[in-house]
Amino acid sequence: MSLYSSVALPFLEYGFMRRALLASISLGLGAGPVGVILMLRRMSLVGDAMSHAVLPGAAIGFLVSGGLSLFAMGVGGIIAGLSVALLSGMVSRGTVLKEDASFASFYLASLALGVLIVSLRGSNIDLLHVLFGTILSIDHDAIFMVGAITSFTLITLALIYRPLVAECFDPSFLRSVRGRGALYHLLFLFLLVINLVAGFQTLGTLMSVGMMMLPAAVAQLWGRTLLAMAIIAACVAAFSGFLGLLFSYHLHFASGPTIILVATVIYLLSLVCAPSGILRRRLKRPHLVG
Amino acid sequence: MSSHAIRFSDVTLSYDRHPAVHHLSGVFETGSLTAVVGPNGAGKSTLLKSLVGEECQVEGRIDFGSLKPHDFGYLPQAASLERQFPLMVADVVLLGAWRRIGPFRGVTRAIAREAASALAAVGLKGFERRQVGSLSGGQMQRVLFARLLLQDARVLLLDEPFTSIDGATTRDLFGVVQRWHLDGRTVIAVLHDFEQVRSYFPETLLISRRVVAWGKTADVMTDENLARARGASEAWQEGAGICVESEARI
């Protein structure tokens, strides 16, 4: 099999492969930078919790619309995710519980509700596809949605870059200059939720957080500045999407897990080879003069 | 000229109804340089926090005159910084110009120059492009002072600014504090080193959950007052009753 027929042909021959490629590259471009900030804020597990939290919303959307309506499930997911984010925020501000504790309680409740709703219609293949991802379900509407979410994410990140970074680095300072840190934190959580929803199609609700966290971890191993990290994460995420789709096509694997496993392989390689990775730390090099 | 004095009238600051400081009355005059001294748990940090509106319940009245929230620059005791965040020193210092640049406006050349000279003033000339994560504790404290310089605040609140800082750095940073004082800004600093207080601060507030003495440093820092402050540092009591002084006033 030539390189051309194995790498390019699947995308040239099949429309659904082209759409999947476009969707996953677009997804990666938005989710990568969001993941970097999430990880630097030490909120990796909050991202994971959120991906579980959007599940019942998507399931309810599916039941309400009575079919595989991307719009209904997306809206449901966004509502569920934001409710959990807001409730957790309110609990952590109003009580002694820290944010991670309140997130944990709400996402577990949300997940239980989601699983319950799924089990009511357990045999429905369409629903399973959305929950666990399938490239076949990506149509034009899905591409437009993912593209819109990515554009919105990148533009918003550019706009709120300074206050968001200030809020991450020194929240009490931002509070002392009345910088409205809570607003930017909330906006960021909103970006997180819509990016998770964007990942529904290719990756499934449970794994769409992988498109954020693994590239972000890779970026932290290679990059030194925030901008470099964001760019690296976006590229790694998009590339994982491309390679993952290719493997899933040839080997008949499910697309979501394959994409995430490709990202995992890049992560493992980076752990060894990257400037702040294992190899470099083990290597004895003479120190500099100053 | 409007007054920038901060006047306390029978102020009690408490957490969950347990007072950290009670029945505090007095004035921080405009342009004064005051050291706040007292044993651990005397309510020194709480006093500073009450001025920037950080969480604690306030009873009584604090009169800020014409001062607005943005007139305060606050250096917390242990700044809750995310030190590993990939930021350059210049980025942190420029945050001090928040009032002028806000979330969206660009950093002008003038402000960038100001940041560079603030860094030079704290002895970190040329550190602009260094990563924050690579700084030592003392260097980080200098960076935070540079940020305060850029904030151009009328009132500066410093909570143990020189704890675990070496002698040379402390001297440099005292230079900055003196400059603020000469500019006519009000400086209130929580300190533990009595030598520093006696040699640099004209005014002292000695507290131990209530005012022990407040005024000229020489009058306040007497052996008798200091002994009283140590003795008066009452423990936080689990089953404490309602304060009689406030009951009498109801």
pLDDT tens-digit series, residues A147-156 = 999 999 999 9
Residue of A nearest to B84 (CA): A40
Query: What is the residue range of A244's domain?
Result: 3-281
Q: What distance lies between CA A259 and its chain's CA centroid?
A: 12
Considering the domain boundaries, does residue A286 fall inside one?
no
Q: Is B74 helix (H, G, I), strand (E, B) or coil?
A: strand
Residue A161, domain CATH: 1.10.3470.10
Cβ contact (<8 Å) for B98 and A177? yes
Helix (H) or strand (E) holding A150: helix A140-159
User: What pTM was estimated for this model as a whole?
Assistant: 0.85
Q: Which residues of A touch B81 (CB under 8 A)?
A: 169-170
Q: Report ipTM for this prediction.
A: 0.80
Considering the domain boundaries, does residue A288 fall inside one?
no
- Rounded to an integer, the average pLDDT of A90-104 is 78
Residue of A nearest to B75 (CA): A173
pLDDT, tens only, B211-236: 888 888 888 888 888 888 887 655 55
Distance CA B48, CA B21 (A): 11
pLDDT, tens only, B26-39: 888 888 899 999 88
Phi and psi at A211, nearest 5°, equal -70, -15
**What fold characterizes domain B1-67+190-250?**
Rossmann fold (3.40.50)
Give me A259's structure tokens. 């994409």
Phi and psi at A189, nearest 5°, equal -60, -35
* A250 close to B (CB below 8 A): no
Q: Where are the domains of chain B?
A: 1-67+190-250
**pLDDT for res A72:** 82
Cβ contact (<8 Å) for B84 and A162? no
Residue A189 has pLDDT above 60, yes or no: yes
Count of C-beta atoms within a 10 Å radius of residue B94: 23
User: How does DSSP assign chain B, residue by residue?
Assistant: -----EEEEEEEEEETTEEEEEEEEEEE-TT-EEEEE-STTSSHHHHHHHHHT-SSEEEEEEE-TT--GGGEEEE-TT----TTS--BHHHHHHHTTHHHHTTTSPPPHHHHHHHHHHHHHTT-TT-TTSBGGG--HHHHHHHHHHHHHHHT-SEEEEESTTTT--HHHHHHHHHHHHHHHHTT-EEEEE---HHHHHHH-SEEEEESSSEEEEEEHHHHS-HHHHHHHHHH-PPPPTT----HHHHHH-
Amino acid at B120: A
Q: What distance lies between CA A150 and its chain's CA centroid?
A: 11
How many domains does chain A fold into? 1
Cβ contact (<8 Å) for A229 and B82? no
